[in-house]
Amino acid sequence: MKSLRVEPALRLEGEITLLGDKSIAHRSIILSAISKGKTVIRNFPANKDCIYTVKAFRKLGIRITQKFKTQAARCPAITVFGKGLYGLKKPKSPVFVGDSATTLRLILGVLAGRAFRVKLITGRSLLQRPMRRVTIPLISMGVEIKARHKNQGLKAEDYPPVTISGGNLKPITYRMPVASAQVKSAILLAGLYVKGNTKVIEQIKTRDHTERMLKLFKADIKLVENTIVIKGNKELASPKRIYIPGDVSSASFFIVLATILPKAKILIKNLGLNPSRTGIIKVLKRMGAKIRVSSTEHRASSIEPMGDLIVRSSSLKGTVIRKNEVPSLIDELPILMVAASQAKAKTIFEGVGELRVKETDRIRSMSENLKKMGAIVKVLKDGNSEKVVIEGVKKLKGCRLQSFGDHRTAMSMVVAGLAAEGKTLIDDVSCINKSFPDFLSQLEALMIYPPR
């Protein structure tokens, strides 16, 4: 446990470049491992979750080396020596995936195609996260899966640890009951091993990094509106080099802070600007934020759009975030709630029930913390989901807060504390290493505090 004292800040100014996007990084390791030959991945984020993916594939027999270049530990290049679609080997003992849900759910998709048994074990927080959303479609493809089963009232759910025995898959057409990029990706990865077409139909579009990266690796994949079709049983071709653009989820803490502090101007360089991830920018602009994309670039080694962003102090007004916008900013909802607490009038977050099953229950963690700081927060039913209504206040008040062991709650509350009046104490910020080990040092480099 590492607590943190946050003092109100005066200004934020300067330039930052962020490490690679966590979602894209997981996928880059996975596809490099199951394609043939060497792939060099640049701007790989050495955070806890991504390192679990690296370790899991090492355990499955893949050689992965790290080279630290001039910018030292900040910008490692990672080399993956892929062994092809059928090259993973049966591990001698269970594979530990830490608390990384993306590692677990996506690896299940890959192991679905391999005819051996693997037990996947996790850290404590992932033990509480639902797996049925991914076990159900994989079982319907012919995979054997055993998970820890629990009945909660009328609802049955599966939790880790998960044991999977794959091989001999059949094609399915799957209409997604939850908007989840992890589930979609698991099915598409399993589809690589199917003789024939696997179809996934999304009711609400989620992040499309898997589809983009499958194209980069020359998979037979087609997209027609909300349907993705993948034809399997074909080896992937490594693009040899992958560049991972800066993580827009990590950037969101800086974007909101620059927006809500009275004197701020920052430049964020080489940022991933995939439209399926930039909901935070769209919504903040709608709220009146001064955000400008100053240049855009499309690198062949990434097939992900990226660019530079300039953000300045703004005065925000409330808005309504609709259910179909939620997947494009799902991980940014906690920090967007901090922005809402500083906006004029109400901001309504519709259809955000999925926040209950993230690293912690983020509806609870954010509403409890923001209320302690003086914000007006209501949680209401919204059909079969939930909505959060936040009424902005002039100034938040510094106080004692809890991170609930969740990286995004912790970083959101650091931002809230910097914009508040009075001191804030956050009980535990070591969880930030899950996605953004450099967060506090990069923040410190941009902060200007009032003279004492």
Which residues are identified as catalytic? 331
CB 393 to ligand S3P: min, Å: 28
**Residue with Cβ nearer ligand S3P (260 or 273):** 273
CB 330 to ligand S3P: min, Å: 5
**Residue with Cβ nearer ligand S3P (74 or 207):** 207
The stretch among 40-48, 177-185, 273-281, 307-315 that binds ligand S3P (CB under 6 A) is 177-185
Contact pick of 181, 248, 284, 443 for ligand S3P (by CB under 6 A)? 181
**Residue with Cβ nearer ligand S3P (126 or 420):** 126
Cα separation, 184 vs 181, in Å, equals 5
Size of the site for ligand S3P (CB under 6 A): 9
CB 146 to ligand S3P: min, Å: 22
CB 431 to ligand S3P: min, Å: 14
Contact string (CB under 6 A) for ligand S3P, positions 87-116, x = contact: ---------------x--------------
CB 327 to ligand S3P: min, Å: 7
CB 346 to ligand S3P: min, Å: 25
Strands in 95-96's sheet, in edge-to-edge order, are 95-96, 117-121, 155-165, 144-152
**Residue with Cβ nearer ligand S3P (32 or 102):** 102
Strand partners, 448: 11
Contact string (CB under 6 A) for ligand S3P, positions 115-144, x = contact: ------------------------------
Which residues from 190-249 bind ligand S3P, rule CB under 6 A?
Answer: 207
**Residue with Cβ nearer ligand S3P (22 or 74):** 22
The stretch among 81-89, 137-145, 181-189, 240-248 that binds ligand S3P (CB under 6 A) is 181-189
Q: Can you read off the two tokens belonging to residue 386?
A: 């939930």
Angle (nearest 5°) at CA 330 between 54 and 264: 95
Rg (CA), the chain: 21
**Residue with Cβ nearer ligand S3P (53 or 341):** 53
Tell me: does residue 330 bind ligand S3P (CB under 6 A). Answer: yes
Contact pick of 12, 16, 20, 23 for ligand S3P (by CB under 6 A)? 23
Which stretches of the chain bind ligand S3P, using CB under 6 A? 23, 102, 180-182, 185, 207, 330-331
